[in-house]
């Protein structure tokens, strides 16, 4: 049986090694690249999450990865964005005094409220919003690992899972071939590996 192929986007700040290792652990053949041609031709793409939304979005635009990603999605590719990889999908965000995202999902990513510890680091439960995509349905009620200070709104387009830290926010979304999670599946042990396994088999 052929290993499912995944392109892991290297935009210069991502948590590449742990995501790469987790994808390999579930049987994926992983190509780590920032080359637009490789991204443009991919069937499954993962954008990992580390660093800031402004730096990530700008690095992807500068390298040509952002345009290649949009083209790939237009041809039917599947995308999994992780943490900042979810945030950059939105139109804009508040981090760093204001950031322009890739505009693939309408809305704004905002800072979690004062009065709770930030960054939010650690395990929190996620809950289904409506009838989630089969990729995310098994996560309803599960604990996953977060590390963030900013989050997308709980009523964003395609929201499938929500979490609460000071306010409800989008923990996962699915819309038109785009899948994204605010948490880190590569750090969420069995539950996270199961999610990655489902993604590479889509």
55 in a domain, yes or no?
Answer: yes
Helix (H, G, I), strand (E, B) or coil at 35: coil
102 in a domain, yes or no?
Answer: no
Q: Band of the pLDDT at 49, cuts 50, 70, 90?
A: confident
How many domains, in total, are found in the chain? 1
The catalytic residue positions are: 83, 184, 186
187 in a domain, yes or no?
Answer: yes
Which domain covers residue 72, as residue numbers?
5-96+108-200
pLDDT digits (tens, 9 = 90+) for 87-114: 999 999 999 999 999 999 999 999 999 9
Give the end-to-end CA distance of the chain in Å, rounded to a whole number: 15
Give the other-Cβ count within 10 Å of 75's Cβ.
11
Q: Indicate which CATH number applies to the domain containing 149.
A: 3.40.50.880
Cis bond before residue 119 (omega within 30° of 0):
yes
122 in a domain, yes or no?
Answer: yes
101 in a domain, yes or no?
Answer: no
What whole-number distance in Å separates Cα of residue 45 and Cα of residue 31? 10
Q: Please report the DSSP string for 133-179 in residue order.
A: -TTTGGGTT-EEEEEESEE-BTT-TTEEEEEESSSEEEEEEEETTEE
pLDDT digits (tens, 9 = 90+) for 9-38: 997 765 689 999 999 999 999 999 989 999
Q: Are 26 and 200 a contacting pair, CB within 8 Å?
A: yes
103 in a domain, yes or no?
Answer: no
196 in a domain, yes or no?
Answer: yes
120 in a domain, yes or no?
Answer: yes
């Amino acid at each position: 049986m052929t290993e499912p192929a995944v392109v892991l986007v290297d935009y210069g700040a991502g948590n590449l090694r742990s995501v790469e290792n987790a994808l390999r652990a579930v049987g994926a053949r992983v190509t780590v690249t920032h080359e637009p041609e490789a991204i443009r031709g991919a069937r499954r793409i993962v954008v990992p999450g580390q660093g800031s939304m402004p730096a990530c979005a700008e690095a992807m635009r500068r390298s040509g990865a952002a345009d290649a990603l949009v083209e790939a999605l237009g041809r039917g590719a599947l995308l999994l964005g992780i943490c900042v990889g979810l945030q950059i999908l939105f139109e804009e965000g508040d981090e760093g005094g204001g950031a322009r995202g890739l505009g693939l999902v309408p809305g704004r990513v905002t800072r979690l409220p004062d009065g709770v510890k930030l960054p939010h680091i650690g395990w929190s439960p996620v809950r289904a919003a409506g009838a989630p995509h089969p990729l995310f349905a098994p996560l309803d009620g599960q604990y996953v690992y977060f590390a963030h200070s900013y989050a997308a709104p709980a009523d964003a387009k395609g929201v499938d899972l929500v979490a609460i830290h000071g306010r409800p926010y989008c923990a996962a979304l699915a819309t038109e071939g785009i899948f994204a999670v605010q948490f880190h599946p590569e750090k969420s042990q069995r539950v996270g590996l199961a999610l990655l396994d489902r993604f590479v088999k889509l």
